[in-house]
Structure 1
Amino acid sequence: MDFSEQDVDIFGDDFGHGEEEEEDEQPRGGDDEEIGSPDSSGSSSASSSSSSSGSSSARSSSRSSSEGGNDDAGEAADSASGRVDDEDLEEEEGDLFGPDNEDYVRTPARSPFTVPVLPSIRITNNHTRGSFGRGRGGLLPRPGYPPRQNYGFGNKFSFGNGRHDERFVSELRLTKSEETLSRKSIQFQEPCELACYSRVEGGDVHFDDRSLRLFKRLVSEDVGADLNKGFASFVEKKDLGSDGFGDLLACIRNANIPLQNIHFVTFRNNLNKIMATAYIRNEPWKMGVHKRNGVVYLDVHKLPERPQSEIDRRRCYWGYAFENLATENSGEMGEDGKGIDANMEFCSVIKTKLGAHRVLMGAEMDCCDSTDDGRKFYVELKTSRELDRRTEERYEREKLLKFWIQSFLAGVPYIVVGYRNDAGILLRTERLRTTDITQRVKMKGYWQGGVCLAFADEVFCWLYGTLKDNEDYVLQFVHPFNRLELLRAQTSPEAINTHVATLSYS
């Protein structure tokens, strides 16, 4: 697991370059989704919406990259350390809409491209777990799984047919094959870190990087470790709701990041959900949508979850335990096993551009490493059940898609996966380059990163052109999973109200 003399290019040499322009939750530890086990629950999908973090120390150059239908994306520029001042935030003349932003705010509710489409369901005679149980009738229950009890599904969220709900505003239907989206080439600008903040033990937030952990390069030496250690005293992650979004907004204000030309402010977790929907159509989600002074704020909404069993909680904990094992400056675990608090976290505030849409996002980072010349880069830590011939396909179709989206959006070049058995024993570790993931699945035709970017571009065009200023909405993806629905909301989070009021007085 030696990172010396490794470049940190997240896009890869095989990817085409875009035009020169100036300028991401899976929760920490909660990504240990069970693959292929009949009693598995996939309980690890808690949101990373309450990610937190502080002032930044790393910055990327502003070279943009292009990702087309052949899953190509531009080569990332090298990172350099230093603060970003106001001059660095100005858009260059080559910007798609210019520095005054006037053209963008007149964005119609339709992209200039054809309507977004999702992949058609592939019919297969392979009835193993890797085929997802798909058939001509659509998604079938997975073998060994009890039927869902309306946790995230049902009338409470789908409102029957969305058009019958009095709050209904608009819908974006998703019906055809992926060929339309694969023909589009959407530029994605290399992420640039502007600030960061840290949440420490007790919940206090500091606008610095004191909670950022260092990657332990020799983590492979810990193979055989018991990830159950400390489970009895584990401090589980609290659901901060919109207060977590308020911490992100407070960091933006503290760093004096101008929002005049920003179109979307969000946690990366919301972008993960939107992009993954291009392929994963059986996972419901929702988010708050609030437009203020031309800026769209996307607030994470957590769907109700079914009650977790003991094994569900333990599998979730194994992810946190691996993170603790794979970082050098994590809390020391005593003889009694105490030491892991899921609420201590570091969040990077990143500016990027997807197509014409300028995005400011908060992204929780697991840890960082540095190159031999001192350039800092982030590393994602994941856990997974050990693979076998029955589970590898689903792993590559679904989990690697989520891994790639999460890392690509925030410019994270490496993912380190800890594979464990059903008893929570670490069996092996694997380092993945973010760019190599797309090459790995492209040969098998499972998914294309360019399709995910093109789909997100369509959603952003539809959203920005539909929303009215100073109004509040809920965006949701619900059963029968063939459309996105935009519903009117009656209230807005106090965190956003406070944020907008503070900006108006400054």
Structure 2
Amino acid sequence: MSTESNTIELKIDKQFLTAQKFPYFSKPQIIGEYFVNKDRSIQIGRMAAKNLNDTPLRNPRGVSAPNFDLDAGFSAFDPKDPGERLEILQKWCEKMAPAGGRLRKLLHGAEFFTWRGLLTKIGAAVYAASGDTWRFRAFRIHGVVFMCEEETEDKTRKMEAQTDREKHMTYWGHKFEQYMTLDDGMDLPDTTQPVSTREEFATVIRTTLECSQSNRRQPLELFYSAEIDCLDRDGKYVELKTNKGDLRGWFWTAGAKSLKWWLQSFLVAIDYLVVGHRDDHGIVTRVSSIQTAQLQKQSQWYGGAAIRLISQVLTQLSDFLPNENQACVVEFGGGDGENTIRFSRCSEDLCDFVPEEFRRKFW
């Protein structure tokens, strides 16, 4: 690491990370579940969670192979606001502690507050493809480091330049979820309704990660939330994914989607994923399942390297923001920043993702 006045750079040493033993990571502890309604209000509990439609997996005699058209209903797609930040998770906090109080107590002692998606991006950076970028801001208040991702200029350009086909392919994963999920009391999914991502079921996780510095005895305590696609017959979480054809070749290489699938599931202790195998036209003709552990066993990447990189980044972040009301921006990739994660101090005024009302309510 090299330092200058208000900047620290963390070089990603893939050889070092892959040579280290898997860092200690406690089994994620579920401390809450909630459902987000279309108006983006939240309902505590799992009663509105979707159930897995496992018929395509069981495929009993007399039932033909699935023929799911993932492009159906594209014109009526109802997406959630892409500009949401930490609002939903903060609403959960306020629901759980309407009178406010000590924030660290509410978070079960955790120091870091974020979404699973950001942790996944940080971990995947160890095997990132050339040109990958991400950025987030961090702000320490009440002893908690709030981490909020924001769009990079590179991502904004890519979104603006999306082709019509790319927009359709983004929709396909959401449509697959509609084919594969059921409400309570339903035997078949209702695929005639418009697909909406404004409703979602999510879990709240508390876990412990080994600190990357041997001279620091305290482990890293994490609090984060993740959207859950559905529950199986035993009430366990299931992740739903789509892939063109079988899981083979490039799928297993370092930096490919298999690592991101594994990270997403590992961070929430999901045992298995259900995969819809589609063709170029978005037609799913086969559905299969794969154990999360199997993703790592068959891959050309090492999951421990990704988890250790998360540990390095969070350790550095905690040390970089030791005092209340300190803030920074953390950036990866792009231009001369290839394989470098840069921490730069910034004004707390740029961290409005922790509203003043929320700050006053907790201490």
- TM (norm. structure 1) is 0.60
Q: Do residues 465 (structure 1) and 319 (structure 2) align?
A: yes
Separation in structure 2 between the aligned mates of residue 285 and residue 434 of structure 1, nearest angstrom: 25
* Equivalent position of 1:484 in the other structure: 341
Per-residue Cα deviation, 1:79-133 (whole angstroms, up to 9, x for no partner): xxxxxxxxxxxxxxxxxxxxxxxxxxxxxxxxxxxx7xxxxxxxxxxxxxxxxxx
Equivalent residue, structure 2, for 1:379: 238
Higher helix fraction: Structure 1 or Structure 2?
Answer: 2
Residue 230 (structure 1) shift: 1.2
SS in 2 for 1:370: coil
Per-residue displacement from partner, 1:387-407 (whole Å, max 9, x unpaired)? 48xx72245431110000000
1:247 aligns with 2:88: yes
* 1:412-491 paired onto structure 2 within 5 Å: 412-441=270-299, 446-467=300-321, 468-479=323-334, 480=336, 481-490=338-347, 491=349
Aligned mates of 1:269, 1:190 — CA distance in 2: 18
Pairing 1:292–2:141 present: yes
CA–CA separation in structure 2 for the residues paired with 1:180 and 1:272: 16
Match of 2:123 in 1: 275
Distance 1:234 1:177 in 2: 40
Question: Which letter maps to 1:227?
Answer: L
Code of the residue aligned with 2:173 in structure 1: it is: G
- Give the equivalent residue in structure 2 for 1:169: 7
Equivalent residues in 2 for 1:6-85, closer than 5 Å: none
C-alpha distance in 1, partners of 2:164/2:15? Answer: 40
Deviation at 1:494, TM superposition (A): 4.7
Q: What is the distance in 1 between the residues matched to 2:18 and 2:69?
A: 44
Between the aligned partners of 2:37 and 2:252, the Cα distance in structure 1 is 33
Kept in 2, the 8 Å contact 1:184–1:454? The answer is: no
**Structure 1 or 2: larger strand share?**
2
Secondary structure class of the residue paired with 1:187? coil
1:395–1:496: structure 2 CA closer, same or farther, 3 Å change rule? farther
Matches within 5 A, 1:66-145: none
Distance 1:395 1:306, change over 3 A: farther
> In the superposition, relative to structure 1, how do residues 358 and 241 fare at CA in structure 2: closer, same or farther (>3 Å)?
same
- SS in structure 2 opposite 1:238? coil
Deviation of 1:275 after TM superposition, in Å, equals: 0.7
Q: State the Cα distance separating 1:381 from its structure 2 match.
A: 0.3
- Residue 61 of structure 1 is matched in structure 2 by none
Asked if the contact 1:196–1:346 (Cα under 8 Å) also holds between the matched residues in 2, the reply is: yes
Structure 1 residues 399-431: Cα deviation after superposition (integer angstroms, max 9, x where no partner): 110000000000111111111111111021220
1:266·1:299 contact (CA, 8 Å) conserved in 2?
yes
Match for residue 193 of structure 1 among 11, 30, 50:
30
Residues 229 and 383 of structure 1, relative CA distance in 2, 3 Å threshold: same
Name the CA distance, whole Å, in 1 between partners of 2:251 and 2:182: 32
2:179 and 2:191 in contact (8 A); partners too: no
> Aligned with 2:51: secondary structure?
coil
Taking the aligned partners of 1:392 and 1:295, their CA distance within structure 2 comes to: 42
Structure 1 unaligned segments of length 5 or more: list them.
Answer: 1-114, 116-161
- The separation in 2 between residues aligned to 1:360 and 1:333, in whole angstroms, is 35
- Corresponding residue for 2:77? 234
Which residue in the other structure is 1:265 paired with? 113
Partner of 1:74: none
Change (3 A) 1:286 1:211: farther
Residue correspondences, number: 326
Q: 1:326: how far off?
A: 0.6
Distance 1:431 1:333, change over 3 A: closer
Is the Cα contact below 8 Å between 1:214 and 1:327 reproduced in 2? yes
In the alignment, is residue 352 of structure 1 matched against residue 207 of structure 2?
yes
The CA deviation at 1:246 is 1.9
The one-letter amino acid paired with 1:171 is E
Query: For 1:411, which of 269, 276, 284 is the aligned residue?
Result: 269
Name which of structure 1's ranges 199-208 and 319-328 shifts more when overlaid on structure 2.
199-208
Deviations 1:191-229 (CA, angstroms, capped at 9, x unpaired): 111112211223332223344110111134562221121
Which AA in structure 2 matches 1:314?
H
Structure 2 residue runs without a partner (length 5+)? 60-64, 98-104, 211-218
In the alignment, residue 273 of structure 1 is paired with which amino acid?
Answer: K
Q: Give identity over the alignment, percent.
A: 24
Q: Secondary structure at the match of 2:232?
A: strand
Instruction: Report the RMSD for the aligned CA atoms in angstroms.
Output: 2.4
Shift of residue 321, structure 1, vs aligned partner: 0.8
1:177 Cα deviation (Å)?
Answer: 4.3
Separation in 1, partners of 2:200, 2:143: 30
TM-score normalised to the size of structure 2? 0.83
**Which digits, 9 at most, give the CA deviation of each residue in 1:139-162, with x for residues without a partner?**
xxxxxxxxxxxxxxxxxxxxxxx9
Q: Which amino acid in 1 is paired with 2:269?
A: G
Contact between 1:228 and 1:318, CA under 8 Å: does it hold in 2? yes
1:309 aligned onto 2:163: yes
Task: Go from structure 1 to structure 2 and tell me whether the alpha carbon gap of 1:475 and 1:299 turns closer, same or farther (over 3 Å shift).
Answer: same
The CA deviation string for residues 426-468 of structure 1, in whole angstroms up to 9 with x for no partner, is 0212201011111112xxxx11111112221111111111114
1:246·1:499 contact (CA, 8 Å) conserved in 2? no
Equivalent residue letter for 1:493? D
> Are the equivalent residues in 1 in contact too, given 2:69–2:284 (CA < 8 A)?
yes
CA distance 1:466–1:233, change in 2 (3 Å)? same
